[in-house]
Amino acid sequence: VNEVGGQDELVFDGGSFALSATGEVVMRLPMFEEALALTAWEKADDGVWVCVEAPMDDWVSGPEEVYRAMVLGLRDYVNKSGFPGVLLGLSGGVDSAIVAVVAADALGPDRVRCFMLPSRYTSQDSLDDAAGCAQRLGVRLDEIAISPAVDAFAQMLTPHFGNRAPDLTEENIQARTRGLALMALSNKLGSMLLTTGNKSEMAVGYATLYGDMCGGYNVLKDVYKTQVYEVCEWRNANDPYGVAVSPIPERILTKAPSAELRPDQKDQDSLPEYAELDAILHGLVEEEATLDEIVARGHAPETVERVQRLLYNSEYKRRQAAPGVKIGPRAFGRDRRYPIVNGFRDAVTK
C-alpha cells in the first residue's frame, strides 16, 4: 500500500499494487490519486492462491509522471496551507505558461489569477501569447505596466550611481519591481504567489533574488528547462483533468527564451544552449561526475568549468528560494546540500 499526496517538497505517488505468490503484479491502483479496490482470489488445485479479479491501472512515467507530480504537489501545498488560490506573473514565456496550466489543473481556473507586467522591452508577441494562454485556460489575466515604477526608481537612484554605465543593475530593478508588485497583490488578495524559475536557471543563478524568485512555492524547482518543454508538449497533447485542450500557444514553445529585460535579449546570450547546459548540470548535480568525465562526453572544457563556477556561485540564491516539488534524485535544498562559501573547485586536468 503506497501513500498518495503532497507534503512540502515531497509527493507520494500512490500506485498501490498486489503480487501473486510467484511475484507477478496482479493488481495496480492509479498513480497520483486516492483509490480503493477489492480483489477476488481463488485457491488453485496446487494450493496456490490466484487472483481472478482486480483492477490494473497503467503505470505512469516520463513527462506525464512529472506533470502529475507537480499538480498533486501544488494542490496539496495550497489546500493544506489554507490559501484560497494562487497568483503568478504570466510573461508569455514557457515557464510561466506551464506553471499557470499546472495551477489551473490543480486548483481550477477560478482559483488562479495571472498578471502580465510589461516593461518597455516586452514584445507584442509576449503580450499576445500570455493573453492566449490565459484565454485557453479560462483564468483571469490583468495587465499592470511597470515602466512608471521602474522610471521612478531610476530617477531616485541614478544620482547615487556615480556615473557608472548601465548594467545588470537596471535589469534587476525591472525584475524586482515585478516581484514587489506581485507580492503586494498576494498580500492584498490573500492568494499565494507562485514563482516560475526552472532547475536550469536556479542551478546557474539565472534569476533575480527578490525579483522573479519571489513566491511561496515553485512547481518547476526540480525540472530542467529541456524537461519543461517535454512536459509542455505532453500537456498540449493531453487534457488529464478536463480543464483545457492545448492550453499553451505553439509560439511559446518555438520562440527563443528571453527574460526581456533589455533590447533583443535571449537566454543564450548569457548561457549555453539549454540542451548542453542541462547535460552538464545533470552530470554535476545528479551524477556528481568530475569535470574530466563530463568533458569526455564531448563538452568544451571552458564551458564545463564555467557552468560549474556558476553552479557553486549561485548557492546563496538557492538557499533563499521557495520550496518546490521534488522530481529527481538530487533536488536542490533537500538532497543536494552544499555550503554557500567554499574555496574548493574541481578543474579540468586533461
Residue 318, pLDDT > 90, answer yes
The helix (run of H) or strand (run of E) holding residue 63 is helix 62-81
Residue 47, pLDDT > 90, answer no
Model confidence at 350, pLDDT cuts 50, 70, 90, reads low
Residue 59, pLDDT > 90, answer no
**Least confident span in 48-57, 142-151, 173-182:** 48-57
Q: Enter the C-alpha cell of residue 188.
A: 492584498
Q: Which one-letter DSSP state was computed for residue 160?
A: G
201 contacts 278 by C-beta, under 8 angstroms: no
pLDDT tens for 114-132 read 999 999 999 999 999 999 9
Looking at residues 43-58, what average pLDDT do you find? Answer: 82
pLDDT tens for 273-317 read 999 999 999 999 999 999 999 999 999 999 999 999 999 999 999
Question: Cβ neighbours of residue 267 under 8 Å, at least 6 residues apart?
Answer: 206, 256, 257, 258, 259, 274
Residue 247, pLDDT > 90, answer yes
252 contacts 196 by C-beta, under 8 angstroms: no
Q: In 85-194, which residue ranges form alpha helices assigned H by DSSP?
A: 94-107, 124-137, 147-157, 168-189
Domains of the chain: 4-53 (no CATH), 62-271 (3.40.50.620)
Which pLDDT value is given to residue 268? Answer: 80
Looking at residues 328-335, what average pLDDT do you find? Answer: 88
The pTM score is: 0.90
pLDDT tens for 133-146 read 999 999 999 999 99
CA separation (Å) from 209 to 149, 195, 212, 315, 333?
18, 11, 7, 12, 16
